[in-house]
Every structure is written in structure tokens, then in C-alpha cells.
Structure 1
């Protein structure tokens, strides 16, 4: 009889444990969801962790393609601003000390909330092997820093490079501002800031460079029209909204000056520098952002070089395909990038 009553008791305890556990899980989900309505921090940190893992894998993929260049000179972690942990830059060049070369200033991607200069270092080494001085610039990320802090910092970086040009082999008459993904947005913003005085006035920033110092803008997989991002769906749309909330500090960023001034497609002019722009056919941003931006610049009479792949192209080329150098299409993009740089600069 004791055995007959013990079994129902064990079953009751097991069921009660299951219900308690389920209630606890639901409670945690509700708390996390509630926090997500109040602050972007938890979700932004999750996105950052995922992006960091992907960035590390991409760097490892690029590394075998970096040439062993005994002429390469590098200067790392140069502080250009007050926040030495963030406002630093890395320089790579074959130039001898005192010699100046056409210079590519590259702004890394990472959805404005992740990434570092290390993510683009192999690519900068490759471009430096073609004779260019290449510089990776760090900047403040959201949610620790909010817009337009990064724009001010990048302007400070350009001012620093202009003032220390001889030290870092920078030809200040031949500067290409480059970027990928969120860095593409920021690169387009810096080029717009320099070439459109009205836009600089709206931002309240005095550009560090003059328009005639820009040799070009190199834009890979960037964002240039925030309104068009409303067409994204699913996980991509969620990630983008979280990233912009974290970066701007405003949940309703699309209704504020932040969303408007980040949309450089509305502020570019005929004075925008010669531009190279590319994106993969498997990347929604190509169709929503890169192609419309290229068309806008062309309509203004800007010299635009594009590399877009037909929609049916296989394999489908993902966001930032240019860094996946095991792909022949990425090698094509690299060759076309170097050819564009050669055509728009004068190497000594």
C-alpha cells in the first residue's frame, strides 16, 4: 500500500517541479522582454557578441591572403583623441619615413555597436602592399557612446592625420575615405560633411579637411537611407532597430535629427568625391541602400564606379562579401578596388 501511494506523490512532486521551472523561465523571458522595452543594452551586447565572433572568423579567413611584405612599416594604437582606449588608429605603409603616399582612411563596420580596427587590418595590409598608406580608425561605439560622438571623433582623427602627415606618410592632397557596413555609412557621412557646407552647419561640425583633399570615397555594403530600412523584416529588422537605438540613444531615432542626418543620400551634392561602391547580391542592403546611393550620386554627376552582381548570381554573396577572400568574387572586388584607387590617385 505504501508503494501505491508513493508513486502518485513522486508524480505530483515532478509535475510541481515542471510547473515551477516553466513559471521561472516565463518570468525570466518577461523580465528580459520588459528590459528590452526600456533599454537596448542587453540586446546590443548580444548582437555585439555575435558580430565579434563573426569578425574573428572573417579575419582568420583573410589572413592567408595577406602578403609577406618585408617593406611594410606599421604604427599601432596611435592615440588621436582623449579616449586612448577608443580614439586610436593603426597605420600601414611601404613608404620610407618622411615619404608621402596616397592614403586610405578606413572606418570599420559593426552595426555602430561593435567592431574594431583589427577587423579590417588584413585588408589594410593587402592594400598597403599595393603602395598605399592605409589607416584603420577606431571610434566610440553605442551604447557606451551615442551619436554624433563618433562623427566628431572621426573628424578629430582626420585633423590629427592632417597635422601629422609627414610622420605617418600621408599625402594630404590624396585621401580616400573608406568604410564597410556601418563604417560605409560613416565614411559617406564624413565625405558629405567635407563637401557640403550646409550639412556641416546642420551637424555643428567644422570639417577637418577641405574638399580638394579628398581623392575619393570607397563604400562597401553601407547604409545611406535609414527610411528604406523599414522594408527589412524578421531578425535583420530587429537587429537594426536595436543597433540604432543603442547608437543614437533614441528609441524613436527615425523621427529625430539622428535618423535624418545619418541618411546621407539626402545630403550628398555634386561635389561629393569620386566613389567606388559595391555590395553582394545576397545582401538586402545592396538593393535597399548601395544601388540607390549609387544612382543618386550618378544623378548628381559624381564619378561613380560600381560592382554589383546580378540577382540570380550563385553563390549568393553575403553582407561584406569583399572580406571573404576565399571567394573568387571577393578577389574580383579586391582587384577592382585597387584598379579604382590607382585610377583616382597619383602614386609617387
Structure 2
């Protein structure tokens, strides 16, 4: 029997959009600049599965000059890539923290950092921090966790959350996450503002858009589930084809793979016809739960890091150009 050989590259369909830069993204960038005068610390959230792809240079520019820590969210979903955390820690040093909503100790670590910063700032009005990041990287979930762990006797869910991009549409009011000194906390307390996710104005690489869609960073349906499942099959074959052994033997054929998923998990239409759309959605759901491997999607090789640094230093287009490109893409897709 011939040895299985995985695909070494993925052909990105031309239909994949190159941006998801909406009106409220543009408005959020402008609004961020108006609140910075009262911000002592920026908490930038990035998805640990996409540590490069969820770094937005536009946000970096908008909050430049303000002390910042980087919180890599959903850390548990990248635990099969053990070298990734060490590499990111080496890149960012003490500025990098790794967070997982299911591990309270990671929330406690961030609260400790906020308290340390509050002591250093020593403001009579308390420390005010601002959470920023790309859409659906876990900003609001993080805020709720900080509130729940850092305060007592208060409403714990203060920010609306969801498993899709665009739940938060405007900068919220400040939320106390650490009590003042007289209530067992520090100084005048610690307050955090949530903000809307802001997408990149333009993404030259279609593969990056697919990866962001896999982690639900853009609106569902902009990239068909079948394309996302095919990309995931490509990546799983490179990681370890045994990840999907419960469905079928190693294959590069997405039709064959989804057919096996439909048969095993009962994703069938009337008359027993396989429902390929439902099968693709099932694959994505299982992967997002960590049941088809917990790997970092981004390439973290030295070459990839250098390319990313160059891109971050000189983003492809300006905000206005990105907005125009997004409108043109939508017109083209609707034609």
C-alpha cells in the first residue's frame, strides 16, 4: 500500500474576501484615540491559535505611547504546539501573558499584573485599562472573568459575549475589576473598558482570511464551511493525520473526508443522502472544541516572523483604502 503524502500547499479560492473592515471598526479606531488620555494600560488580546494573524498594526498605532501587555487568549486550544508559548514569551518577555477561561489561575495572574501596575501608577482615581483586539479574540469574555474573580458581591457578567464576530459594537463604560484598598484591593481600584474588535483594513494573503474565519473572527458564511473544512484537512494532514482516524484513513480529498463524517455522525438528508454542508459545519465545531487537535495555525518559523514584522511595520493599505477595498470586494461578490 502506497504511503500517504499530504498536500504541501493549499490553493486559496479567488472568492475568499480580502477584508472584513466594517463601519463600526473605523469608528472604534477613532474613538480609541479620544479615551487614551485617561488610560494607563492597554491590554491587547490575541488568539493563541493565531498569534500573528490576530495582531493588528492599526490598533498598535492607535494606542501607541501607552504601556501595553499582550494577552494570548484561548491558550488551551493551542496546547499541542508546545514550542509556541516559549517562542512568544521570548519575543515579548514579561509583556506576554497566556489566558484560558477554564483555568482561573490565568485570570489570577492577569489580576496580579493589574494590581502591580496600579501600585506603580498610584492614581487617585484608580488604574484605568483598555482592552483592544481583533474581532472575537475573547476580549469581553476576559473582562467578565476579571470582574468575576477580582470583585465580590457584584454583577459578574458585565459584557455581552458570543461565538461570532461583532458582538461588541462600541467602547463600554469602565468596569471595576479590583476593589479599592479600603475593600481589600489596591489604591482607588482597577477599572477596565471593553472595546469593539477591529479588523485589518486589508489582508493580502487569502490564507490568513481563512485562518481568521476558522476561529470565527469574521461573519459566518463569508467563506463557505466546505472551504474552511478543506483547509483544516490540509493542516491536520501536516500535523497528524491520525487526528481524524475515527472518520476515515488519511486523505487529501475533502469530498471523501466529509462523506465519512456524514456517515459516522449522521449528517444525512432525507433518503440517507450525505449533507456535505452539515458535515463541514460538524468538522469546524469539533475542531473549535479542541477535538481535532489543539495546534497553533500560524507559522512561527524565523522566516514567517520576519515577514510579519515587515508587514506590521508597513501595513498594506491605509484605513480609507481598506474601507474602499472592502466595499469593492462586496460589490464584486454580489455581482
TM-score by length of 1: 0.32
TM-score by length of 2: 0.33
Q: Normalized per residue, which structure has more strand?
A: 1
